């Protein structure tokens, strides 16, 4: 549509391309690149699933017929020609990458891949297909990390019971973070090797503990994620028990840290019995029994190592604080920890399944949290996490700094990461503080600071 002289002329481009398929995360990055162009208001580049079609209709795009095997492109802006040229460049680069990968003749199924030499299987497919792929891995006698969410709890229990029979570990479903002998899987920070092994029913909880350990000069042997439901009454800690025993048998692990939200009583009893039988000491980092920073400090003392002053870059925004704390989080456990510490306010975990259905995780795609910052009320305190590491936003400060500077509320950031992470911890902290935020490497310290401001 257009207005009078001097008005910006907006236009839409909608295309359906057949015979083209790319991974949803790769297409999300294309969408983000187009949206960041100066002349683009909104861009959707995605497979034409019902969910993505509905999203485009909600944005008032006029759509032709399309099916889930088609590629949907919907662009709105005052320079759609530039966006279309950039789209073609981005898709050509993706196609080139796929052609090169195809030339290497990868296996087409998990079962065929498992016939090759392998130590672990990583499953990252839509939730309705994840169980079948994970089952193939377990039946092949291989441990599996199920990054996907959307697997029913009944299927999770079935998979983990079968894994017990096959003497293998199931990490997940919805296991966002693992580190196996120094190799990070999923969202993983760059960690130095060391004597601490983690069993974690929380991805960002594990990242907080291991990042603080790394800042204290202490490394990890392995991080075994077990999925957020493993310590529920339904699952009963099946993978937690196996992971604890595996770390107990690992000569490189001198201390185990167990990270989780409060477990169900039945699961807590089962895990407690196993912990009592282990040779390796175990430190519990269970929310409600203390915070993750305190548990990290306990682990350092158990190893006879000193506890440092956790890096922080407090700032002064000059904004009056008359309201409440608003938690705007990408990590569920970090959000729960902050809620427990603050004790009041409104907290949203944008990494919850309700917000990630059909879109990338907020550690990759900042859009929903940028919107939350823009809608914050004057006088409030916005408390948020920014998580670094592989697979996360390559430069989150670039995404958030402008929004923080314009936010009418005071902003406090928990910056979770290590000095070895590709985003550069200190550069991120400086940029966020320059934008007006107070920055803490301890989420618990950030939460207490936010609480004290109100």
- What tokens appear for 81 in the block? 């020609």
Give 11-36 pLDDT, tens digit per residue.
999 999 998 888 777 898 899 899 88
Q: Where does the pLDDT of residue 372 fall: very low under 50, low under 70, confident under 90, or very high at 90 and above?
A: very high
CATH of 175-302, one of 3.40.50.261, 3.30.70.2970, 3.20.20.140, 3.30.465.10: 3.40.50.261
Phi, psi of 43, rounded to the nearest 5 degrees: -145, 130
Question: What DSSP character marks residue 262?
Answer: P
pLDDT at residue 94, rounded to an integer: 87
Q: Where does the pLDDT of residue 95 fall: very low under 50, low under 70, confident under 90, or very high at 90 and above?
A: confident
Q: Lowest-confidence range among 103-107, 271-275, 326-330, 388-392?
A: 103-107
- What tokens appear for 441 in the block? 């490497």
Q: How far is CA 440 from the centre of its chain?
A: 19
Around 170, how many Cα atoms within 13 Å sit in the side-chain half-sphere?
A: 35
pLDDT at residue 394, rounded to an integer: 94
CA dist., res. 382 & res. 405, Å (int): 12
Q: Judge whether residue 125 has pLDDT over 90.
A: no
Give 411-447 pLDDT, tens digit per residue.
999 999 999 999 999 999 999 999 999 999 999 999 9
Give 182-202 pLDDT, tens digit per residue.
999 999 999 999 999 999 999
Q: Judge whether residue 375 has pLDDT over 60.
A: yes
Q: How far is CA 331 from the centre of its chain?
A: 7
pLDDT at residue 448, rounded to an integer: 97
Q: Judge whether residue 102 has pLDDT over 90.
A: no
DSSP code string of 66-105: --TTSEEEEEEES-HHHHHHHHHHHHHHHHHHHHHHHHT-
pLDDT at residue 315, rounded to an integer: 84
CA dist., res. 355 & res. 368, Å (int): 9
Question: Domain map of the chain by residue range?
Answer: 11-103, 175-302, 312-453
Give 133-174 pLDDT, tens digit per residue.
999 999 999 999 999 888 999 999 999 999 999 999 999 999
Q: Where does the pLDDT of residue 68 fall: very low under 50, low under 70, confident under 90, or very high at 90 and above?
A: confident
Q: Judge whether residue 5 has pLDDT over 60.
A: no
Q: Is the peptide bond before 173 cis (omega within 30 degrees of 0)?
A: yes
The C-alpha angle with vertex 240 and arms to 234 and 246, in degrees rounded to 5, equals 150
| Summary mean pLDDT of the chain | 92
CA dist., res. 41 & res. 34, Å (int): 9
Phi, psi of 300, rounded to the nearest 5 degrees: -60, -45
Whether the domain at 175-302 and the domain at 312-453 fall into the same CATH topology: yes
CATH of 312-453, one of 3.40.50.261, 3.40.50.300, 3.90.226.10, 3.40.50.1000: 3.40.50.261
């Amino acid at each position: 549509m257009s207005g009078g002289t001097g008005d910006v002329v907006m236009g839409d481009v909608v295309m359906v391309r057949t015979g083209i398929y790319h991974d949803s995360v790769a297409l999300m990055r294309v969408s983000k690149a187009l949206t960041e162009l100066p002349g683009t208001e909104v861009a959707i580049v995605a497979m034409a699933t019902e969910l993505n079609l509905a999203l485009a209709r909600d944005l008032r795009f006029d759509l032709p017929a399309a099916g889930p095997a088609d590629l949907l492109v919907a662009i709105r802006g005052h320079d759609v020609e530039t966006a279309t040229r950039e789209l073609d460049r981005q898709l050509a680069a993706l196609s080139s990458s796929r052609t090169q990968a195809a030339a290497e003749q990868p296996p087409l199924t998990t079962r065929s891949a498992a016939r090759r030499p392998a130590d672990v299987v990583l499953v990252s497919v839509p939730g309705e297909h994840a169980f079948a792929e994970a089952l193939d891995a377990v039946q092949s006698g291989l441990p599996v990390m199920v990054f996907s969410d959307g697997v029913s709890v009944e299927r999770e229990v079935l998979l983990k019971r079968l894994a017990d029979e096959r003497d293998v570990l199931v990490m997940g479903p919805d296991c966002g973070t693992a580190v196996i002998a120094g190799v990070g899987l999923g969202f993983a920070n760059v960690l130095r090797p060391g004597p601490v092994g983690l069993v974690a029913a929380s991805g960002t909880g594990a990242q907080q503990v291991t990042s603080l350990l790394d800042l204290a000069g202490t490394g990890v042997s392995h991080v075994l994620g077990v999925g957020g439901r493993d310590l529920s009454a339904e699952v009963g800690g099946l993978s937690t028990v196996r992971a604890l025993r595996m770390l107990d048998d690992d000569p490189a692990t001198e201390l185990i840290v167990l990270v989780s939200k409060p477990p169900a009583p039945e699961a807590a009893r089962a895990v407690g019995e196993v912990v009592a039988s282990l040779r390796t000491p175990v430190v519990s980092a269970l929310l409600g029994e203390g915070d993750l920073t305190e548990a990290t400090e306990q682990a350092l003392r158990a190893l006879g190592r000193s506890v440092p002053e956790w890096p922080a870059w407090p700032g002064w925004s000059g904004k009056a604080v008359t309201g409440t704390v608003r938690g705007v989080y990408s990590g569920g456990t970090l959000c729960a920890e902050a809620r427990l510490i603050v004790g009041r306010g409104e907290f949203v975990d944008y990494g919850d399944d309700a917000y990630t259905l059909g879109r990338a995780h907020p550690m990759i795609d900042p859009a929903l949290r940028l919107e939350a910052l823009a809608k914050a009320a004057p006088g409030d305190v916005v408390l948020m996490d920014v998580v670094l590491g592989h697979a996360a936003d390559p430069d989150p400060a670039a995404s958030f700094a402008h929004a923080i500077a314009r936010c009418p509320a005071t902003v406090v950031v928990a910056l979770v990461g290590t000095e070895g992470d590709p985003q550069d911890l200190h550069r991120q902290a400086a940029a966020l503080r320059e934008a007006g935020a107070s920055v803490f490497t301890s989420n618990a310290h950030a939460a207490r600071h936010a609480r004290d401001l109100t």
